[in-house]
Every structure is written in C-alpha cells, then in structure tokens.
Amino acid sequence: MALKIRPAREDDIDRIFEVETLSFKEPYPKGLLYIYLKLTPELFLVIEKNGKVIGYTIGLLKPSKLGHIVSLAIDPKERRKGYGTLLLKKLLEKFKELGVCKVRLEVRVSNRPAINLYSKHGFKIAYIIKRFYLNGEDAYVMVKDLNEG
C-alpha cells in the first residue's frame, strides 16, 4: 500500500469536493476550495492511497502567526485507519515551519470523532460560538499552543 501526503493541485479539486460532500452537512462550494488553494497552497494538503486522494486538510496563516485549520476530512470508507491523524500531524509540522505559535479551529459541538482527534493532539476547547453553523448548531473553538509540543 502506497501512502503519500502532498500539496493539493487544481486537478484534485473535483475529488476533494467529493470527499467534502460525503463528509459535511454544509459542504464548502467548489469555488471556495479553489480560493483556499490559491490563498495558501502550501497549507492545502491531500493524502493519497495507491494514487487516489482519500482525504484533505486546509490550513490558513492569519496575522500574528496564528494558524487556522479550515477543514480536515477523510473519505468515509477510509476512516478510523489513522489517516486523519497523519494529515493533522503534517499540517501542524507545516505550521511550525512557518513560525506559527498557536493553531485554532471551529468544530461542531456534536462532532465527537473530530473533537476526540483534536484533543488527542493537544487541542483544548477554549470557548463556544453560539449558532456558528447555518443549521443553528454551536461550535467549539479549539486551540493548540505549538510551543507546548
């Protein structure tokens, strides 16, 4: 089995959008995925298994060296095999290389798999944003200090 994590390319967007729609109740439109790719191509990563994209993550660099995880998703058929962990670790490495001190993200309060994954990697729930999502669900803001290892 060949696994590879690499920066996303424009010709990956259709497949990324497929994983996106399989993964989220309110998927990002394809056009927004293109915009993220243009904004920070070095922080938009895909994971490939035997040449097929099975997941992706999008990071953003904000002012004051703050990293933001915009999205992370694995094809439902490939979940619970450690691939989300691999992508998250790689993105955190990239943030560190860019001098990022703190990383934040928003996650649905009902999203136990993601909350568990991020908690396992040192993210802490900082606060709640009420009705953050279109369907009215609240978000946890989770934060990790990269200097704490």
Ligand X SMILES: CC(C)(COP(=O)(O)OP(=O)(O)OC[C@H]1O[C@@H](n2cnc3c(N)ncnc32)[C@H](O)[C@@H]1OP(=O)(O)O)[C@@H](O)C(=O)NCCC(=O)NCCS
Binding region for ligand X (CB under 6 A): 23-24, 72-74, 79-85, 105, 107, 111-114, 116-117, 120
Short-list 45, 44, 24, 59, CA closest to 144: 59
* Distance in Å, CB of 139 to ligand X, minimum: 9
E-strand ranges in 1-149 read 3-7, 44-49, 52-62, 66-74, 102-108, 124-129, 139-145
* Distance in Å, CB of 62 to ligand X, minimum: 17
* Distance in Å, CB of 146 to ligand X, minimum: 18
Closer residue to ligand X, CB minimum distance, 4 or 99: 4
Q: Give the separation between CA 16 and CA 53, rounded to whole angstroms.
A: 7
* Residue with the shortest CB distance to ligand X: 84
Q: Give the separation between CA 72 and CA 99, rounded to whole angstroms.
A: 21
Closer residue to ligand X, CB minimum distance, 80 or 130: 80
